[in-house]
Chain A
Amino acid sequence: MLGNIITIIYLVSSVTFILGLKMLAHPASARRGNLIAAVGMGLAIGGTIFLYHDPMTGLALHNYKWIFSGLLIGGIAGMVSAKRVKMTSMPEMVSLFNGMGGACAALISIVEYNNLHAAMANGVPEGIKLSIFIILLGLIIGSISFAGSMIAWGKLNGSVKDSSFKGQSILNIVLLVFILIMAAWVINHPASALWVYIIFIFCIVYGVFFVMPIGGADMPVVISLLNSFTGVAAACGGFLYDNKVMLTGGILVGAAGTLLTMLMCKAMNRSLKNVLIGSFGATATGAASVEHGGAYKEISMSDAATIMNFSSKVMIVPGYGLAVAQAQHICHDLEKILTERGVDVKYAIHPVAGRMPGHMNVLLAEADVQYDKLLEMEDANDEFKTCDVVLILGANDVVNPAAKNDPASPIYGMPILEVELAKNVIVNKRSMKPGYAGIENALFFQPKTSMFFGDAKKVLQDLCNEIKSM
């Protein structure tokens, strides 16, 4: 009887996951969708704790002290960190939580392997090869996802720098093959309990090497990919316990995450293989900097204020620099001041501006910028030629003309915001250093471009004051 109730609970939870994901894909219902999925998750967790019975022994779960204290600690820590995190740090937070899920899947595999190993003392159970295969699959995917997410997290918050060495991609492949050989060996010789830890360590190393050389603009793709990895790792658990809700939830995220990854690659016009193997930057920086190392001109505060004040249309192009400087509110203030003076102000949002797709939308929404002021790339590109001024705030690669006209550039073929169609381009950056992808930007050296160096928040603040005093 209890077994039937838990089956129904799992069914309901699975449906809430599907519904939730579907509603998350539409602006009007997104928040409710998230809530519905959360309720389904709560049901599944509660049902498991109180109603689950081991199908082999028929025993209910015990060790409630351990389970509830784990739930409590994880719940409080998750709640506090999620409530406290700044909007700019959202992407790395997602990466961090994703890593936690991966680690959870890996730990489950380790414990299950040990259980299996202990059970083998009483003879080899039937179907053991399949169980070990699933366990190892969950272990490998989960731990790679964990290590990769931690590196991605470190990269996004600036504590880990891009690094690669010669032959790294070959080493990665060798490492992966080695892991698979070890796994195959363990499946056929499930002898020592030690192996599972050795594989775990190798997977961690692989996960680190896997993400380490992937730089800058590609981080969103990597996080999305690792997100779908963790989904598959969770599904392995579902297979192992014949648990339908883990299976549906895991595969659902695995499939949706893979599609999202591909959508992002498409937005950057690159293939996934290219993202993962071609380490961005190293060769291109040298070539491109020689080509464009010309002169650029700076613009003074009063000139910038004047030209914007007397424009009829200004387009703002936000990028990661805006997010880092937490300048979204002051940016909205500038927009309001200019609007009061009859300037038509809009925002051009590149799909991969910032560190995650939609990053800029979330950021500007926080500052109460009106939805209809945000133009998607195609619409913005139609409007640039009617703009007097384009103000670029900490964006770089998404406005780099090399994507259009330099086949040698690593970002060649990526659709960009064609800001050079406007009459004037003002670029706010902290320095002349190349952007996250490590590529020189020829836009900065064009005659209609003026550079405006400084932290975005301070620059915008000064600009607001200057325009107000006019």
Chain B
Amino acid sequence: MGRLLQFIFDHQQIIYIVVLMIFVGIEVIGRVPSVLHTPLMSGANAIHGVVIIGAIIITGKAEANNYSALILGFLAVILGTLNVVGGFVVTDRMLEMFKSKKNKQA
């Protein structure tokens, strides 16, 4: 119990962020129309591509002769970029269709 309290005290900033972000995440998409479920999932998918930051950090701080870290990091950067770029582009393509149609209506 004491250790748990100490843990919360030591990491209160992060814990605050986590708790607040959970509420924000739920609040922000709370009333999304079902039309947008697929693009929204795809957009959220692109946003968690932020994991690429970690991939860049591990690659960038690896010793120049630590090839296992370099290769794994390099792979991680590729995968993370795929997630980010692919995610945003796919989402944009989905949404593009909604837009072009709206212009025609107007």
Contacts and interface: CB of A to CB of B under 8 A. Distances in A.
Interface in B11-33: 14, 17-18, 21-26, 28-33
Contacts of A94: 38, 41-42, 45, 87, 90
Question: How many of chain A's residues touch chain B, expressed as a range?
Answer: 35 or more
Given A94-B87, A247-B18, 7 more contacts: A81-B82, A90-B94, A101-B79, A252-B47, A254-B22, A356-B38, A371-B101
A66 B95 contact: no
A100 B38 contact: no
Interface of B: 7, 14, 17-18, 21-26, 28-62, 64, 68-70, 72-102, 104-105
Given A61-B56, A105-B54, A255 B26 contact: yes
A248 B21 contact: yes
Contact of A361 (B35, B51, B90): B35
Contact of B44 (A54, A103, A231): A231
Interface in A68-101: 69-71, 73-75, 77-79, 81-83, 85, 87, 90-91, 93-94, 96-98, 100-101
A121 to B, nearest CB: 14
B88 A234 contact: no
Given A260-B37, A362-B97, A104 B86 contact: no
B9 to A, nearest CB: 13
A368 B37 contact: no
Nearest to A251: B21
B44 A365 contact: no
Contact of B86 (A79, A105, A255): A79
Contacts of A91: 38
Nearest to B49: A101
A250 interface: yes
5 contacts: A45-B84, A67-B60, A250-B51, A257-B41, A368-B101
A30 interface: yes
Nearest to B21: A251
Given A25-B28, A256-B25, A365-B101, A97 B87 contact: yes
Contacts of B74: 66-67, 69-70
B60 A227 contact: no
Contact of A253 (B25, B62, B72): B25
B83 A101 contact: yes
A82 B74 CA distance: 21
Closest 9 CB pairs of A and B: A74-B81, A61-B60, A255-B25, A70-B77, A78-B85, A357-B37, A78-B86, A249-B50, A237-B54
Interface stretch (A111-119, A379-387, A394-402): A111-119
Contacts of A366: 97
B82 A97 contact: yes
Contact of B89 (A54, A82, A245): A82
A100 B69 contact: no
A241 to B, nearest CB: 6
B35 A253 contact: no
Nearest to B91: A34
Interface stretch (A14-22, A271-279, A406-414): A14-22
B84 A78 contact: yes
B59 A70 contact: yes
A357 B34 CA distance: 7
A466 B89 CA distance: 40
Interface in A26-40: 26-27, 30-31, 33-35, 37-38
A27 B97 CA distance: 11
A17 B50 contact: yes
A246 interface: yes
Contacts of B50: 13, 17, 41, 44, 234, 245-246, 249-250
A249 B18 CA distance: 10
A67 B62 CA distance: 11
Contacts of A60: 60
A244 to B, nearest CB: 7
Contacts of B89: 78-79, 82-83
B1 to A, nearest CB: 17
A17 B98 contact: no
Contacts of B45: 94, 97-98, 101, 227, 230, 253
Contacts of A287: none
A38 B58 CA distance: 22
Contacts of A34: 39, 43, 46, 88, 91-92, 95
A282 interface: no
A56 B3 CA distance: 25
Contacts of A26: 32, 36
Nearest to B22: A255
A100 B53 contact: no
B55 to A, nearest CB: 5
Contact of B21 (A35, A79, A241, A247): A247
A73 B28 contact: no
Contacts of A224: 41
Contacts of A368: 100-101, 104
Nearest to B50: A249
A358 B37 contact: yes
Contacts of B32: 24-26, 260, 263
